[in-house]
Structure 1
């Protein structure tokens, strides 16, 4: 991984010492929390110490859109931006990655997407340098070369080597105020990145090492971080687990569970990604209890379940985090939608189904959705 990564409380201060191109940086963020909590100002002030003026783009949506990428990339070109800073959750950092590429390459981001209606082209030029500063612990995008952008009813992961951050700063101090329900959703996203990467056919001894350590940290500290967000040790554990799970995404792959959820949140943009994964999890993972029994047992042990019962361990962690009652029906998903959602998942993110331990049929994918409603 070519990214220079700094981890730990107060590590954002390292921005004043790192090497970045001379010129103006663009801080890419979303909503109001990063501004109200002073994170934008802190990053801008730290960069100013190193002689870097900054501008701010603050229109990133929770499920970032192609329209936002186009607007922000145009701003980069107009203002001759030298580097970008993704500050916030995965949406902000994913947008920053796509914008960095489109600031230096011709065409549209969707030209470089493989899947759905994407153009399937290869990126020619290196993008602008990317600084990733997560304020949530869920996506692991600070440690992988991928980005997920929504275009209409297609939510597709893209990227490649040119989308690795140049510098990533994982400062748990920036995560202390995340509300309990979002801490849970994001923590489970990190958990499933690690667990899916461990389950996938692409797993290797290296990815397994990071996956099991990430799962262990989540089993140890996620529920504590949800119940007591001010617990600095628990926040640091979950932040580290998230970054380790990002390594797993780089070395292995997410699996079909993520493909299904991307379809769901493409059609239902108000559905938080991590919540969608939680809702699908029992139905999805039960499909592999026989074909991948040893792997599921190892995940259960990493979560602290002595008898190796993965589905029980998963249910216990969801109960401990207060997310065991979530259903897709809460977000308007209906049984009659299952076929269209299954087809969308297969057409946009079908590659993820190919790394599942066994092939899921269209009917099984539909059943996973309906059982989660």
Structure 2
């Protein structure tokens, strides 16, 4: 029986499509002084995206301050620094410009600009204290330059506590962006390997949200469409990054996967990856998910075969022509083929320094820090099964 009792709450206005950054000129922004959050990398400046944004703000007589320290796996220290700067400068809203790490950081900074204490006081899971942020958050504007996290369409933000090696997702009604801009023209500059990693992050948001036991008819609709679009258009983006039509469809798949995150949930595959990149922050999140995916989804395809048959169909597989016992695993085959087409079929954990004898520690971290996602799995994994999946993924 489907979940026919559910809540639907996505309060974000989204400007979608090529040229949408220019449409920001016609929007009423939620404040008079912005903290613009960007990464420590060079791309926002090099490609002129920051200049385009600040020109629009100047035209609208909105002041701004730039905070440019965010790492690919963002850390708590920078959230606290950014929040202090926002308070000090009297910023009344936050703009995240860039990929998931910049927008996630913007959400967490917006929260801490309005609440006392340490960011980890509010985190649920691990050593977080689970306090409710009674101060709410500053309004958030998200301008995404990647198609990967869907963070422009969901409340979630993922930050690592670098002191404790805990990488934990967090979100509530305050951390939805007020306004999001999804302009695929800003994604044309993303290099092929990152396009693939990010595309697979969106893919797994959709897939996990589809198998999660809290999936609803609404999240299913978004998830299956997202999977279909990524299967069709991601290889084109990887081979020809300037193909605006393909970039737009992958951007759409990513935003749909964000809707999945708002209406369903990731599962323990994400918990396992967070453990990997908490200890090895140079590991791109999408790459970690790809490494886990074959072992993880082979395991779960045997537990909820019907769901995986639907996913295989969404990827364009003629499932009905296959023997019945092979049908659920057709998804895993199609996923592996897609990874190969995107040039990410042979990623190994050892490439990032992860050692096999650490797997029990990493599995323990996954369960202790992001145990909530294990609760929405369609089958309850034991610690031993978690270790076994991670070991299979390692080999």
Deviates more, 1:284-293 or 1:241-250: 284-293
Q: What aligned pairs does 1:242-281 form with structure 2 within 5 A after superposition?
A: 242-281=254-293
Deviations 1:64-89 (A, max 9, x none): 00000011100000000021110011
The residue that corresponds to 1:167 in the other structure is: 179
Which contiguous aligned blocks of 4+ residues in structure 1 show a shift greater than 4 angstroms? none
Shift in Å, 1:290: 2.0
Tell me the number of residue pairs that the alignment of Structure 1 and Structure 2 aligns: 373
Gaps of 5+ in 2: 1-9, 320-326
Task: Quote the Cα distance in structure 1 between the aligned partners of 2:76 and 2:31.
Answer: 28
Task: Quote the Cα distance in structure 2 between the aligned partners of 1:244 and 1:268.
Answer: 29
Shift in Å, 1:292: 1.0
Please, what TM-score do these two structures have when normalized by structure 2? 0.93
Shift in Å, 1:112: 0.5
Task: Quote the Cα distance in structure 2 between the aligned partners of 1:224 and 1:197.
Answer: 25
The residue that corresponds to 2:145 in the other structure is: 135
The residue that corresponds to 1:283 in the other structure is: 295
The residue that corresponds to 2:237 in the other structure is: 225
Q: What aligned pairs does 1:1-373 form with structure 2 within 5 A after superposition?
A: 1-30=10-39, 31-152=41-162, 153-307=165-319, 308=327, 309-373=330-394
Aligned-residue CA RMSD in angstroms?
A: 0.9
The residue matched to 1:96 in structure 2 has which SS? helix
- The answer to whether the 8 A contact 1:60-1:95 is kept is yes
- The answer to whether the 8 A contact 1:64-1:149 is kept is yes
The residue matched to 2:273 in structure 1 has which SS? helix
- The answer to whether the 8 A contact 1:17-1:50 is kept is no
Deviates more, 1:272-281 or 1:330-339: 330-339
- The answer to whether the 8 A contact 1:15-1:47 is kept is no
The residue matched to 2:15 in structure 1 has which SS? strand
Deviations 1:214-247 (A, max 9, x none): 1111011000000100000100000000000000
Task: Quote the Cα distance in structure 2 between the aligned partners of 1:128 and 1:290.
Answer: 45
- The answer to whether the 8 A contact 1:16-1:50 is kept is yes
Please, what TM-score do these two structures have when normalized by structure 1? 0.99
